[in-house]
Amino acid sequence: MDSTAGEEGSDQASKLALCEQIIGYQFKDQSLLLSALTHASGASHRLESNERLEFLGDAVLGLTVCHWLYEDYPEYNEGDLTKIKSAVVSRRSCGKVACRLGLDRCLIVGRGVTRNRSFPRSLVSDVFESVVAAIFIDGGADVVRDRLRTWLTDEVAAAVESQGASNFKSSLQQYAQRELASTPVYRLVDESGPDHRKSFLIAAVVDRREFIAAWGSNKKDAEQRAAANALAELHDQPLPHPSQPVEPEQKSDSDSTGEHASIDRPEQASG
């Protein structure tokens, strides 16, 4: 029994050391890391497992990623940010990152859990969250933030790219800042229709270059369409939202009927 206990203690110590090497952080309180790596099957009772730390880590991970997205993607609305955050902190994403780091090699499990095959992704995802919580308690929010920004960079980029197809303003801003060292602004060119059903013609302007304007049923929609036009022009692609000047007599009709002459204005019911 003493020999077995000694072997287990040595195995635990090596896993703690490996984990610290992987995450680039040395714990002041080693018991926190031990708890973070210990699955319920390998604990003497559940309160010594990583389940409580997993609970905290889920919140720390969510808050850190939300703050990251809020700071770095000001053009994304709440709905887009929520979708991106959900993808980044999902079990699938966390499990993939944990395996890529090698945290699965640090897991402390009971004899009933097979050790000669890969662990379930959900189990590895849990240890990722518990390690995040342990770092947060031992080292603070800044230490966690710096590591998550490194570990989750690819996941955030992929999630943002998947949303980029519907958020042209963000895509244009990223392109303009990266390639042109400039930030887009949006100019109201024209507006049409009665107060309760106005349409807006808006153009994107990047580094004093004004791109083809686009109509929208509200300013946010028009800005998204204008950004899509700008991206198309920048990449020599067909305009997704071409527009044409409103003829005077048509504008007069528009004032009375709410109908629009632009070939790409939002469809509206005839008066």
Residues labelled as active-site residues: 58, 129
Residue in 93, 86, 95, 38 with CA at minimum distance from that of residue 66: 86
What kind and span of H or E run contains 133? helix 121-139
Q: Do the Cβ atoms of 232 and 240 come closer than 8 Å?
A: yes
Q: Phi/psi zone of residue 207: left (φ > 0), alpha (ψ -120 to 50 degrees), beta?
A: left
Give the span between the Cα atoms of 206 and 71, in whole angstroms.
22
Q: Do the Cβ atoms of 39 and 54 come closer than 8 Å?
A: no
204 strand-pairing partners: 186
Q: Which two tokens stand for residue 164?
A: 């980029």
Sign of CA dihedral 202, 205, 208, 212: negative
Q: Do the Cβ atoms of 84 and 159 come closer than 8 Å?
A: yes
